[in-house]
Amino acid sequence: MVALRTWATPLVAGSFALMAVSGVMMFFHLNSDLSKGLHEWAGFVLVAGAVAHLVQNWRAFAGYLRRPVARAIMGLGVAVTLVSLVPIGGQGGDPFREVLARVGDAPLPVLASLTGQSVDMVKAELVAAGFADVTDASTIRVLAGADRGAQMGAMGAVFKAAE
């Protein structure tokens, strides 16, 4: 078995770098579907690396627990984490996501109205984007399924054609 020392710290460093860059990109809405997915999965990798690193360096970590400033910083981190789990502010939903969800559930005549196109034009754009069985009653969510990337692609095709 390979010693923890040879891989734990490099794993933490590498996954932290990915998390930091992709997190900043997400904050400024510059992320892609790939960077968002990598960010989410790298979180698991970071946790695994951190646990291995903690096991390897337990004695040093225990020393930090005897220092008031270190205890306060770690305690604050735990407190903020716990508070972040509490739903506050009513629904707390993102209005942008709510609008996208409503557009995704709108039948084609409503989409046509939103884009200033005819229903036939919207149907043609969706078919050209690779969606099959497009009818007046179709919705983007039904056509694209649960794949948010496909939903965004369908919305992009319809709204781009409206330009």
pLDDT, tens digit, 9 for 90 and up, residues 9-67: 999 999 999 999 999 998 888 888 888 889 999 999 999 999 999 999 999 999 988 99
- In angstroms, the first-to-last Cα distance of the chain is 60
Q: How many domains does the chain have?
A: 2
Domain that holds residue 19: 4-84
Closest CA to 154 of 141, 78, 73, 119: 141
Mean pLDDT score across all residues of the chain: 88
The reply to whether 90 falls in a domain is no
Q: What angle do helix axes 148-161 and 119-128 make, rounded to 10 degrees? A: 130
Greatest pairwise CA separation for the chain in angstroms: 71
Q: Is the pLDDT of residue 162 over 70?
A: no
Residues 80 and 99 occupy one common structural domain = no
pLDDT beyond 70 at 90: no
Does pTM top 0.75 for this prediction?
no
Given a contact cutoff of 8 angstroms between Cβ atoms, the answer to whether 22 and 39 are in contact is yes
